[in-house]
Amino acid sequence: MDVNETESLQDKHLHCVMAITITIPGWRALNLAHLVLDYNGTLARDGRPLVGVESRLQELAQQLEIHVLTADTFGRAQAELAGFQCKLIVLQPGNEHSQKADYIERLGPEVTAAIGNGRNDREMLARAALAIAVLGAEGLAAETLAAADIVVPDPVSALDLLLHPQRIVATLRS
């Protein structure tokens, strides 16, 4: 699937029975059906997934539809994610930030969580119902930091938040 596909992803989410439901006192209730992730700098370093990412994504795939969006800087995403239970979308060169934001819109931002670190993730995070920024070895773009609901030190911590939603409640409650 590429970002120009004609199938309505928003209509598709209506048929998704998997979900993570989180009620956050003083903030909002979330009913998440999709998780959209950046690849390089978020899930991977130098094109290779970080330790602990695969097992957590496999566990989350039982509750959420997983989408990995990447410019594929190192050209390894397809091979590296071959065994993962996720949809890989390699973006067209140029305007990657818009492509990611448009993808969130097609899925339905109100049912989508997003995780990223780069400047091209800022609009994706701004549109998602739950936005998690990763401050990893590559760093975290300041604009993306500003768009995040939660900031974590690494992708394992980000994925663990979704596997243990009460941690999200503890962080975001008013």
pTM of the entire predicted model: 0.89
Instruction: Give me the pLDDT at residue 1, please.
Output: 38
Instruction: Give me the pLDDT at residue 22, please.
Output: 97
By the 8 A CB rule, do 12 and 33 touch?
A: no
CA dist 58 and 68 (Å) reads 13
Instruction: Give me the pLDDT at residue 8, please.
Output: 40
Query: Of 30, 20, 26, 36, nearest to 105 (Cα)?
Result: 36
CA dist 124 and 97 (Å) reads 7
In CATH, which of 2.40.30.10, 3.40.50.1000, 3.40.50.2300, 3.30.1490.20 is domain 9-172? 3.40.50.1000
CA dist 114 and 93 (Å) reads 21
User: Could you tell me whether strands 87-90 and 65-70 are parallel, antiparallel, or unpaired per DSSP bridges?
Assistant: parallel
Where exactly are the structural domains of the chain?
Answer: 9-172
Instruction: Give me the pLDDT at residue 2, please.
Output: 40
By the 8 A CB rule, do 33 and 111 touch?
A: yes
Distances (CA, A) of 112 to 30, 32, 116, 147, 166: 9, 5, 13, 15, 18
Instruction: Give me the pLDDT at residue 133, please.
Output: 98
Instruction: Give me the pLDDT at residue 15, please.
Output: 44
Instruction: Give me the pLDDT at residue 11, please.
Output: 42
Query: Of 154, 133, 152, nearest to 50 (Cα)?
Result: 154
Q: Which residues of the chain have pLDDT under 70?
A: 1-17
Instruction: Give me the pLDDT at residue 18, please.
Output: 79
